[in-house]
Structure 1
Amino acid sequence: MSRGGDGGGGGDYGGTTTSIHVTALDGLVNVNSLFTVAVFVGLSIASPGQRSLEGRSECDPGLDVARNLLIFEVVSFSFFLFSSLVAQGLKLAINLLNSNDIDEAFRAHISARVLRFGMLASAVGSVLGCIFLVLSMVQVIQIRLGLLSCGSQSAVRSVAVLVTLVSTALAVYIATIFYAFTH
């Protein structure tokens, strides 16, 4: 599937532009799509004025928690959309670069630097989207289970598990990206 080229740092990125790049970008877009669904689920579950399941009125969230939820969800969605659009653009360029069915005048030419920068930008967008999604999920937990500040044990445990697991997964993802870009 690859086309000839120098595959080096500054020229057209042809020789090493393979289906592996497209597959990696497809995976990123698919994961972003799943996370985008989570954004809308978070918005649909929580509504302002809800009473928490804690049962104590001091544990019920105020409008600031609902406002933060909305802000974090919108920012998270924006990062996932940014990441997906960059990845889709790179996929289009790679597919045009490798296509034998189009005239040379319409063939895409993408440099190694542009490809690497685009893939990195897309990955960073996903990481930031995840961070804001976690922040929004903390707000959902506070709305449903009670404010963290009132000592709701179920809310504290839920947030601890969420932050621990997602932080671990993000650390592995970032380490993998770092390794891929340095080797």
Structure 2
Amino acid sequence: MSTTSVHVTALDGLVNVNSLFTIAVFVGLSLATPNQHSLENNAACDAGIDVARKLLVFEVVSFSFFLFSSLVAQGLKLAINLLNSKDVDEAFRAHINLKVLRLGMMGSAVGSVMGCLFLMLSMINVIEIRLGMLSCGSKSAVHSVAALLVLVSSALLVYISTAIYAFMH
């Protein structure tokens, strides 16, 4: 059983994307300040401490999934690269258990998807803190959340479909 540098490139891409999302997590954490007033000019529309608490929880869970995904991908890359260094004649091929590689790549992909879902939930909390609670009917908040849900869900659907297709073939 063998693999090529294509797998290493795919794992590199996954780690790079996870790094960008991790930056977004820390930006979200910086917005979790209690008693912050929204831009809605209505005190009843201000997010309470429970929204800030949920934001923090979602950010930490999201970070955990991204870290899990990146560490699994880095471990697979390390194994492939170490195995490549043993075989000088075949610089772009390494003998690795294909089942382990596929399982690791799928685990890493699942970690990224779960991280994205929790990051999306935390962004909804950021929107409620900054623009006002959705329950108040703030047009800005509703439109922002709708755009976030449609775009991220669509992107995740494409990513999941592609990952499943690659896993099956």
5+ long unaligned stretches in structure 2: 89-93
Which of 75, 80, 88 aligns to 1:94? It is 80
With normalisation by structure 2, the TM-score equals: 0.94
8 A Cα contact 1:46 1:144, kept in partner: no
Q: Highest CA radius of gyration, 1 or 2?
A: 1
For residues 35 and 106 of structure 2, the distance between their equivalents in structure 1, rounded to whole angstroms, comes to 40
Q: Structure 1 residues 124-133 or 45-54, which shifts more? A: 45-54
For residues 80 and 24 of structure 1, the distance between their equivalents in structure 2, rounded to whole angstroms, comes to 16
Q: Does 1:27 align with 2:27?
A: no
5+ long unaligned stretches in structure 1: 1-6, 8-13, 103-107
Report the number of matched residues: 164
Match of 1:174 in 2: 160
For residues 111 and 159 of structure 2, the distance between their equivalents in structure 1, rounded to whole angstroms, comes to 13
Match of 1:68 in 2: 54
Q: Does 1:44 align with 2:17?
A: no
> After TM superposition, where is structure 1 displaced by more than 3 Å over at least 4 residues in a row?
none
For residues 145 and 74 of structure 1, the distance between their equivalents in structure 2, rounded to whole angstroms, comes to 22
For residues 67 and 27 of structure 1, the distance between their equivalents in structure 2, rounded to whole angstroms, comes to 32
For residues 12 and 121 of structure 2, the distance between their equivalents in structure 1, rounded to whole angstroms, comes to 26
Match of 1:141 in 2: 127
With normalisation by structure 1, the TM-score equals: 0.87
8 A Cα contact 1:52 1:146, kept in partner: yes
* AA partner of residue 110 (structure 1): I
For residues 26 and 108 of structure 2, the distance between their equivalents in structure 1, rounded to whole angstroms, comes to 21
